[in-house]
Every structure is written in structure tokens, then in C-alpha cells.
Amino acid sequence: MSAAAGRPKAGSAPPGGSGEVQDASVGAPVREWPLWEVFVRSKAGLDHKHCGSLHAADAKLAIQLARDVYTRRQEGVSVWVVRSDQIVASDPGDKAAFFDPMADKVYRHPTFYELPKSVDHM
């Protein structure tokens, strides 16, 4: 929590004083807060979709800030957050080996079926 309090100039915090922002000139927080990825479900029945990231000290604050940063205009009914460093990602260098072989296998796609009109969100 050391980052939260900032580092004030000595004697700059008179309660009721000018309210100068405490540490703008003294430097950045001692330690960056961890980054969190934010996923928002826009309505019941749909998937949570990644919509961005934010910094927060812990999970509870991350959820609150996700609400403030990403769901201000009724975008969602549910929010997930996950520490960015907990996500395991594929290596961009493996892109060719991972993904290119799929390009010419059209039979893997269910594109030869007609979906009834009443089926949404497939």
C-alpha cells in the first residue's frame, strides 16, 4: 500500500489547507500497482469480453475501478478482473507454427450448415 499514500513534500498536508496535489513534483509512486485485465459481460447469456486493463492495488479495488472506468454507460451486467501477470499467452514468435496450418482446412469450419434464424449469438 505504499503507493497509495504518495510521498508528500514535508509539511504540505495541512488538513483544510490548499489541497495541493501531494506528490506531483516529488515523483512517481514508489512502486507501480499491478496491472489487471478487465472483462465485461454486456448482457446475461453472452460471454465476458476483454475490454481493457487498469492498475489497482488489489482485487477489490480492481473490480471497483473496472466499474468506474469500463461500465459507465451501462455497458455491462457483470465484470471479471484478472491479474495480467496470471495470463499465459502464446509466443508471437510461434505464430506461424501455431496458426498458419489451419488456413487451408476449410472443412474444420461449420460453414456448410444453415443455422435457423432463431439461433442467436453463434
Partner 1 sequence: MAATNSASITVSGDLSVQYLLRIGDTCLIQAQRLGEWSGHAPLVEEDIALSNTALDLIGQARGVLTRAGQIEARQGGQGHDEDQLAFRRDERDYRNLTIVELPRGDFAATMLRTAMLATFFKLLWQRLADSADAELAAIAGKAVKEARYHQEHAADWVVRLGDGTPESTARMKAAIDWLWPYTAEIFESDAVDEHAAAEHLGPRWSDLQDDWRAELAAIAAEAGLALPADRPFRSTGKAGRHSEHLGYILAEMQHLQRAFPGGVW
By CB under 8 A, name the binding residues for partner 1.
1-2, 4-8, 13, 15-19, 21-24, 29, 33, 54-57, 60-61, 64-65, 67-69, 72
Cα separation, 26 vs 9, whole angstroms? 7
Nearer to partner 1, 46 or 53 (CB): 53
Nearer to partner 1, 18 or 118 (CB): 18
Beta carbon of residue 28, minimum distance to partner 1 (angstroms, whole number): 10
Cell readout for 28 is: 512517481
Beta carbon of residue 59, minimum distance to partner 1 (angstroms, whole number): 12
Beta carbon of residue 98, minimum distance to partner 1 (angstroms, whole number): 34
Instruction: Give Cβ neighbours of residue 81 (< 8 Å, ≥ 6 apart).
Output: 36, 37, 38, 39, 56, 59, 62, 63, 66
Kindly report the number of other CB atoms within 10 A of residue 22's CB atom. 14
Nearer to partner 1, 48 or 55 (CB): 55
How far does CA 7 lie from the centroid of its chain? Answer: 27
